[in-house]
A and B are shown apart, each in its own frame.
Chain A
Amino acid sequence: MATLKEERYIGKNGTRLETVRGRISKLSPGYLYILPWVIGFLLFQLYPFVTSFIYSFTDFSILKPMSFVGLDNYKKMFTADRLYWTSLKATFKYVLIAVPGRLIFALFIAMILNMKLKCINFFRTVYYLPSILGGSVAISILWRFLFSRNGTVNVLLKALGIPPVDWLGNPNLALGTMGLLVIWQFGSSMVLFLAGLRNIPTELYEAARVDGAGSVKVFFKITLPMLSPIIFFNLIMQTINAFKEFNAPYLITQGGPLNSTYLYGMMLYENAFAFLKMGYASAQSWVLFAIIMLFTALAFKSSPYWTYYEDGGDF
């Protein structure tokens, strides 16, 4: 008869279970392998995440000791910051321009590149190029030149007899012009769409054609539903990125003209590094986090109504 102590380690069918200590020893090398990631996570994600939350309740200018101010930063944001709502409005407008614009454009190009054409791989590479260059500082500066008053775009318009347009100087156009830069960087979404398109079984199209469906109907009844999980993924990723946009307004317009491109990221940066209000900027970043969470949650909640998974959609 086994003693009580031994019983603990012997399963019902008599097999010997591993001790807790044994299991840890077995896992140790694994932990060692993931250690670089763990260090990175703790230092560069968890630590800033936690501290920024603490800072959000303080008056903190980096160089001087912080003092706790309770919810003052949050109150100030919604009631006493003259630019907060302007910035929030500009950010929502930007998300509304950039996200659908980029998804539609990426899908459009993916459909073209899905055709059976000669040298199609060459074209796929060429169309992906803007994404490799896209996020860089150089391209943002190039954008400034393309859309300046004497820039290439206006030179082309002039050749067509159209008077020059102040793309970046006109407060009504600047945000849209900046949105074009993001739409132009459609490559990563396009690659995902392309992979999705190639995964749609051809028999679905063949069956639809036999039933007499036209190409528009085929697109809306087969292509779009079959691509819906990829649209869902792209939608979430692009929405998050658009809310966080910083490079373009910083490098192209500095938030102007008339604060029309003063996006949330730009406001955060200015409060933190130009005005040294780290506590306030941390509070603003937590509100941005909440907004992004809300939109992501909404997208997830709504997804059963418009996404289609062959396997029922179990993640």
Chain B
Amino acid sequence: MKKRSRVILGFLLVLVFSMVFAGCSPASQPDSSSKPDTSKEVSGKEDVTQQTVTLRFSWWGADTRHQATLAAMELYSQRNPNVKIEGEYGAFSTFYQKLLTQLAGRTAPDIISVDYKWTHDLMKQGSPFVNMYTLTDKIDMNGFDLDFAKIYGGDDDYPIGLPAGVNGMGYLYNVEFLKEFGIEPNNEWDWETVIENGKKVQAADPSKHLMYNISEHWVYLLKTMLKQINGNTILNDDYSLGFSRDDIIQVFDYIRRLVETGTVPPFEEGVLYENVYADQNPNWLNQNFGIFPTSSSLIPGIAAASDFELDVFRYPVPKDAVDPGILVTPSMFITIYEHSKYQDVAADFIDFFFNDEEAIMILKDTRGVPANEKAKEMLVREGIVPKQVSDMVSQSLTGAGIAENGPSLNPEVIALIKDYIQQVGYLKLTPEQAADEFMKELEALAASLK
């Protein structure tokens, strides 16, 4: 009896130690070279028609997107009763951090939505996605412009996924609000028009403001203005600064003027809602703000929550802009995790997701205007893409700026930009002081990122 318990004890201890030292050892290291691994081919060789397969699919977004995606997944499961798809959806703000921990623990979903802002970072970390070029026989990619996709989602030999939609930046506005203050929305606005109209609103009603920016948008504003001034991204590909002291002073000064003229609410008020879109901001819903600068893909969610008429006009572009600067990007890449056991099934689902007519009609424009031409044409034909969404995309395409590069999308660079915008917005630093300190810190940071 005693002997047996000793044996059990010994066995369990061995088990514990093997779990500690084997189960918890770091994930086997991927190839650290930044060159894409084209050998990441489809490996799901098992006969999936016979066995029950559970796929995990992750995405972020508004409720309309969740409902539509769940319905499309349900339809796929009805047609393929042996495939069950589990949705993992959440807020954008924490999505990337969760994804990184999942990738580190090799527990990432089979199908992952990836934002263009993370692509560079993930490519540097070893590109944990199946190369889309290896799936051309399983997914009909004829409707996609892969050249556009690769600017933000991979490199020449390696598209990490298929873009769900095309996203353009623009001004979404409350029609009644602008009419009330005698403001004429049109596609010719420049930055001075914004301030003039901001003053007009304040003069008539100091409790209202022409617009409000979320923190993410303040970053876009700064980057877009810099592109319009000098035609560069904030950091060049070699990590050198893409702007001069005068350029950045001009932008910081403009931000200060937006606050001082009351065009935007004081930062003390706005900061609480800096991470939520207009559909969750009571001041927008109570019609205290007139304009929300946004990406076109967010319009359906905001429109569903807003109890008033909305329309769009083009993002400000000065007449003498070197580059029009407006951000046009893929809205979300749908990728397959390289360690997914069922890559074949995942590819089949993605093909259904993008190309099946019934699925297209369920998903509609919840991921922006579809990047797949076939789907886009169908939705336009059926009148499903709201006019505001298609208008914003076409307006942005008339002024599309140069593409963001990897260094400019680095999360630490973005955090630094946000920090200095707050310093200027809270009127703690003058534009000149902010410019000097910002340049010094950005240079140091860029050197450490090289």
Contacts and interface: CB of A to CB of B under 8 A. Distances in A.
Contacts of B32: 64-65
A257 B268 contact: yes
B272 A168 contact: yes
B203 interface: no
Given A258-B423, A274-B97, A25 B2 contact: yes
B272 A35 contact: no
Contacts of A82: 441
Contacts of A275: 411-412, 415
A245 interface: no
A29 B12 CA distance: 12
Interface string A240-277: 00000000000000101111000000000010011110
Interface residues of A, number: 41
Nearest to B418: A256
A32 B16 CA distance: 12
Interface in A154-211: 166, 168-171
A65 B272 contact: no
A89 to B, nearest CB: 16
Interface string B228-269: 000000000000000000000000000000000000001111
Contacts of B124: 64
A32 B12 contact: yes
**How would you classify the secondary structure of chain B's contact residues: helix, strand, loop or mixed?**
helix
B272 A42 contact: no
Interface in A258-315: 258-259, 270, 273-276
A96 interface: no
A51 B24 CA distance: 10
A127 B267 CA distance: 36
A61 interface: yes
Nearest to B97: A273
Contacts of A35: 12, 16
B271 A43 contact: no
B272 A148 contact: yes
B403 interface: no
Nearest to A50: B20
B100 interface: yes
Interface in B265-294: 266-272, 274-275, 282-283
B140 to A, nearest CB: 31
B125 to A, nearest CB: 4
B127 to A, nearest CB: 10
A273 B96 CA distance: 8
B444 interface: yes
A275 B103 CA distance: 15
A166 B20 CA distance: 49
Contact of B103 (A38, A43, A63): A63
Max count, chain B CB within 10 A of own CB: residue among A26, A64, A259: A64
Nearest to B440: A82
A62 B272 contact: no
B63 interface: no
Given A39-B19, A258-B422, A149 B8 contact: no
Interface residues of B, number: 49
A80 B415 CA distance: 16
A32 B103 contact: no
A65 B32 CA distance: 8
Nearest to A48: B24
Contacts of A26: 2
Contacts, number: 105
A43 B20 contact: yes
Contacts of B187: none
Contacts of A148: 272
Contacts of B272: 144, 148-149, 168-169
A146 to B, nearest CB: 12
B111 to A, nearest CB: 19
A150 B16 contact: no
Interface in B1-19: 2-3, 5-6, 8-9, 12, 16-17, 19
Question: Which of B32, B268, B411, B441 is the most central at the interface, judged by chain A CB atoms within 10 Å of its CB?
Answer: B268
B104 interface: yes
A68 interface: no
A47 interface: yes
Contact of B125 (A24, A61, A149, A258): A61
Interface in A60-95: 61-66, 80, 82
A181 B57 CA distance: 36
Given A28-B9, A32-B5, A63-B30, A258 B269 contact: no
B121 interface: yes
A65 B124 CA distance: 12
B426 interface: yes
B92 to A, nearest CB: 13
Contacts of A64: 29-30, 32, 124-126
A31 interface: yes
Interface in B392-450: 411-412, 415, 419, 422-423, 426, 428, 441, 444
Nearest to B17: A42
A1 B103 CA distance: 71
A39 B422 contact: no
Contacts of A29: 5
Interface string B18-51: 0110001011011010000000000000000000
Contact of A169 (B8, B126, B269): B269
26 contacts: A26-B2, A32-B5, A32-B9, A32-B12, A35-B16, A42-B16, A43-B19, A51-B24, A62-B125, A63-B27, A63-B104, A66-B26, A144-B272, A149-B272, A166-B268, A169-B266, A254-B274, A254-B275, A257-B268, A257-B271, A257-B422, A257-B426, A259-B419, A270-B415, A275-B415, A276-B121
Q: Which 4 A/B pairs are nearest by Cβ-Cβ distance?
A: A169-B268, A25-B2, A63-B125, A62-B104
Interface of A: 24-26, 28-29, 31-32, 35, 38-39, 42-43, 47, 51, 61-66, 80, 82, 144, 148-150, 166, 168-171, 254, 256-259, 270, 273-276
